[in-house]
Amino acid sequence: MIRRNLREIQEMSSGFSLKKEHEKITINGVSTDSRNINIGQLFVPLTGENFNGHNFIYDAIKKGAVAALWNQEEPIPNIDFPFILVDDTLVALQKLAKAYRSQLSTKVIGITGSNGKTSTKDILASLLKTQYKTHKTFGNFNNHIGVPLTILDMDEDTEMAVIEMGMSNLGEIELLSSIAAPDVGVITNIGEAHLEDLKTKENIIKAKLEILKGLNPNGLFLYFGDDSMLKEKVKSIPMNYEVMTFGIKPSNTYQFQVGFVNEKGVSFFLKNPISPTFFLPMLGKHQIYNATAAIAIARYFNISFENIQKGFLKVEKTGMRNELVHGKEFTILNDSYKSNPTSVLAALETVYSMEGYNQKIIVLGDMQGLGKYEIKMHEEIGQKINSNKVDFLFTIGPISRHIGKTAIMSFGKNRVTSCTDKSQLVAELKKVIKPNALILVKASRALQLEEIVDKLKEETFLLHENMVI
């Protein structure tokens, strides 16, 4: 993590008014949350519509903060404590991270995309760890606050950093790219996420390509080459970077061939360039795309095929994304972190490929952020679910009922249930679950369907009295 004296912190954050006697105090790390301050850290209070971190300065001090950035318009507490005044604490945090990044020799890989960026991050970090000291984005710290905090959490001797970059509108990836200054920029794919804000796929592509704004001129740009619209857009942009693509089509720099897909993981190899067969213990064919992108970057940094396979076996996965939760009576595929049409279809394919279960149940909640086509896209999902490979379909939320409405045509009314709240959903599920069932739970983050996962685990003792024979 960042270790600098306060004189340096003031300069790096464009601050002012630090007292002379405080200049040599050294901070060890940065936190924006007074509840999680560690001894020796710099406290950066942020403000929003419903909160003001400046109100928690005394809590931060009690926890061990040694200094704070401070919005100059906020009243300064009458205490002997080091304050560095700034115009805006969020902007100062971003400036501090950008300055710290510029002082490090770390190679930074920035990853964005509509789907797969978190899994690609996790896979790539594991591959790089086989040969380099590697740092990666924790959880979903991928926005205008999370990216600066991820950078400031890096040790100075970090050799590789894998930084996930999320967005909801134009201009956001450009900001993150300017802060992280990546040596490698990756676009995993372009999907339907953010249509509500960006309206068209063309705008989504434009937003994702902002990752090039901060890319090292001598760096690498890797993108999903199976997307013809993205490929045409890239061709129209003058580039001095090395450019590579990945995917299943022969035209890609890195082209994969599927071996097998089952409940233990995926097997695949590269047709171009030729590689050994790899095994990745992650669920779903879509993970092969993520793994191929990770291989391309790992090879760019001279990771051997042998170490790539070792890295695949040690991936530390971020939770609530294709996460298998094993209960005594049934198994839950917890994919409750996000949802859009592309990721739903990928999750369904994963369920279809998993064998050895007595029953398969799908629980789908609203896919949010799809804009004016949201009803049509939900209806299309209902039409595409294979009723021969799924026993029951449950939906929750006002928009997802359109999934159920169209799915009834193939499932029949008795196998489709649309629920209005979580209590009803759990009650209806308990009526049909058999032992050794597989249950997919997937929805957009706002629905918090991990609560359903937790509730189902608590209810396993009721299965035998309610099970359907």
Question: Could you check whether the bond before residue 77 is cis, i.e. omega within 30 degrees of 0?
Answer: no
Q: What's the rounded Cα separation, in Å, for the pair 112 and 121?
A: 9
CB 379 within 8 A of CB 351: no
What are the start-end ranges of the H helices in 13-116? 57-63, 89-102
Residues in contact with 157: Cβ distance below 8 Å, sequence separation at least 6, in sequence order:
133
Length of the chain counted residue by residue? 469
Closest CA to 390 of 411, 371, 369, 373: 411
Rounded CA gap, 176 and 130, in Å?
Answer: 27
Across-strand partners of 162? 109, 136
d(CA 65, CA 26): 11
Q: b or e along 411-422 (b: 16 or more beta carbons within 10 Å of the residue's beta carbon)?
A: beeebbbbbeeb
CA distance linking residue 161 with residue 457, whole number of Å = 36
- Binding residues for ATP, as ranges, are 113-119
Q: Give the pair of three-digit tokens for residue 410.
A: 């193939």
Q: Which residues contact 71 (CB under 8 A, 6 or more apart)?
A: 45, 47, 54, 85, 86, 87, 88, 89
Question: Within 13 Å, how many C-alpha atoms sit on residue 328's CB side?
Answer: 8
Which position has the token pair 């918090």?
A: 448
DSSP state for residue 318 in the 8-state scheme: P
3-state secondary structure of 7: helix
DSSP H/E element including 223: strand 220-224
Binding site listing:
113-119
